Every structure is written in structure tokens, then in C-alpha cells.
Structure 1
């Protein structure tokens, strides 16, 4: 439940989400060594629209957590850190053009449309590989990642997963979708 403009959480929701994020932060200190929660919380409390996006990440099963800090921009970086691709974001094709090109059995939406609606960005392949250095993710699922324009122009899209203790990058038609493929997002606060 959000307020009337649908992009801002109610006070109780903000408090609950900050509590969830703090508990995850403290449980997974190896993901953000040298970063102090008090500083992250101050940024979160000053950016209610970002809290809304983090809540969307949480509600779709992403388990967002801090994975870094950008000194130049003074921003904390959150990635989806759920063990598998977020459950509430699976069975989606890559983007709007892929969705519209399907004649039959269209998925409800696309990864790019869903990310935009949530106020987040798909991880790039580089970000995905960096995430995999923090823990082991997508051992049974896979995640769409931001696809370079030249690949997308030819009808393809890329996704990644971890198998055999190795991170793999693959390709598929952008209009494909599977119950075990979703996407991971990033957000800067």
C-alpha cells in the first residue's frame, strides 16, 4: 500500500523497509566492507523516491543490498542479491519491441519495461560478473542483462547465470521468455 501518488511509501512502510535493508546489510557485511549503515540510512531517508524503488525490488523478490559506494557521485549502489533471479520478475521477454513482435503466447511484460516502471536499471554483464564475486547467484535460474545495441538490432539479447562454478553469458532471441529467467536490477541512492 502506497500513498495517492503511488510513488511514495507511507511512513510505516519506509520504517519497515529500512529495517529489512539494515538486517540484510548487517548479515552480509562481506558485500560492502568499509561502508557504515548509518551513512546508508541517512541517504535512504533523504531519498523517498529511491525507497519506493527499493521497495519494488524487495516486493518482487530481489532482496536488494548495498554492493558499493561511488565516491565521485556520493551514491550507494544497490543490486538485487536474491540467491536466484527474482521470482516476481521471471517469465518476461527482454524489451517492448520483443514483446510486440510476439504473435502468440505473449508474456505480461518485458524486463526493460518492468525495470523502468520500478525506477531501476538492468545489470550490465560487467555488473553481473562483479555481483558474482560477492556470492554465488543464479545456480538454477538465469537473468537478462543489459544488451549492447548491435546485438539487440539483430534480434538478440543476452543473459547470464552461474553453472559449474563459472559465470556464463549466453544469447537468445529477445522475444523468448522462460519460467527460470528473470532479471536483476541496480539502483543508486
Structure 2
């Protein structure tokens, strides 16, 4: 599946919708009261959001519907891959952190990758909501949206699940590890 100019070809669109529908039907516990036909209608009306979901899928995120915001009339998608998406690992937190590294720079940062994909990093609260739907990041960890006050002091936050608990940690924003990436959220 290849994408260009934030719009998918008809073939890629159909392939992605088939993948998303299969995942939706296989994981009904994530969205008990929702209907795929309603989700699909929203996706059909939002080509750029469908492109973002494609980017999530291509990078290993396995996006799925995790909720519906009635007030905004939006479906909420999170990356639901068992581990942090493979195509988004070994990255630091943001562009400032990337610039601060003098050597052994990672290829990218979580904030910039998410922006390029048209998605947002999960917040700590969203990460904990995701963990209510299953067990994620048992071997990896994921950067989460970091409060400005923490970031101004040079830090960034990440989460994982160990010992049947969800943990929130801190690290220097410029750090990166092979097992740390980020999970995204998208509202459609």
C-alpha cells in the first residue's frame, strides 16, 4: 500500500478499508456499540484522514476504533498493535531533542513523525484508556505527549506495561532506544 499527496488511490483505499473492517469486526470489545457502516461512511467523507490511517497502518500501528465522541460526531482511532509500532521506533521525542544530539542522531522524532502522518501522540490518559482494552507494550515502550513544564526542563515522558501495571516514566527527550516508539490517535 503506497500513498501520495495525502490521498489514497482507489485500490489502496479499498485495501485499507478491508483491513480496517476486518480488525473492527475481530475486536468488537474495543467498540461494542458502534457499527462499521457508520465508521466507513465517515472515512469515505474524509480522504485525508483515511490517508493518515494508511500511514498508521504502513508503520505497523494496526489502527482501530476505540471510541466515539457524540458531541464532536467523531470516531476515535488509536494504534492497537501489541507492541509500539515497528516503523516508529528508535526515535527521540521532538525536533529540539533531535537537534541537540551532536552524534548518533536518530532518523526522526515522535512529534515530527506524528505531525507528518496527521495524527497526535497519545496522552498519558489515552495510553491508560488503551490499556483497558488489552495488554499493550509488554516488551516495548511508547513516548506520550509531554507537559510543557517537563519538556522545558529537557525531559519527556513514556509509558509501558509491566507486571500487569501501566507505568509512566521520564527520560531525556533526546534519548532513543530500539524498543521505544510512539502510538498515535486520530479523530475522524
- TM bin, normalised by shorter chain, reads over 0.9
Structure 2 unaligned residues grouped into runs of 5+: none
Structural mapping, 1:29-40, within 5 Å? 29-40=28-39
Map of 2:177 onto structure 1: 178
Map of 1:96 onto structure 2: 95
Deviations 1:10-33 (A, max 9, x none): 001001000000000000000001
Structural mapping, 1:11-160, within 5 Å? 11-160=10-159
Shift of residue 41 of structure 1? 0.4
Q: Does 1:2 align with 2:6?
A: no
Distance 1:16 1:44 in 2: 13
Distance 2:29 2:147 in 1: 31
Secondary structure of 1:67's match? strand
Shift of residue 145 of structure 1? 0.1
Shift of residue 2 of structure 1? 3.2
Distance 1:18 1:43 in 2: 12
Shift of residue 93 of structure 1? 0.0
Distance 1:22 1:115 in 2: 23
Distance 2:78 2:109 in 1: 19
Structure 1 unaligned residues grouped into runs of 5+: none
Distance 1:33 1:147 in 2: 31
Distance 2:68 2:114 in 1: 21
Shift of residue 7 of structure 1? 1.0
Distance 1:48 1:20 in 2: 16
Equivalenced residues, count: 187
Distance 2:40 2:113 in 1: 26
Moved over 4 A (4+): none
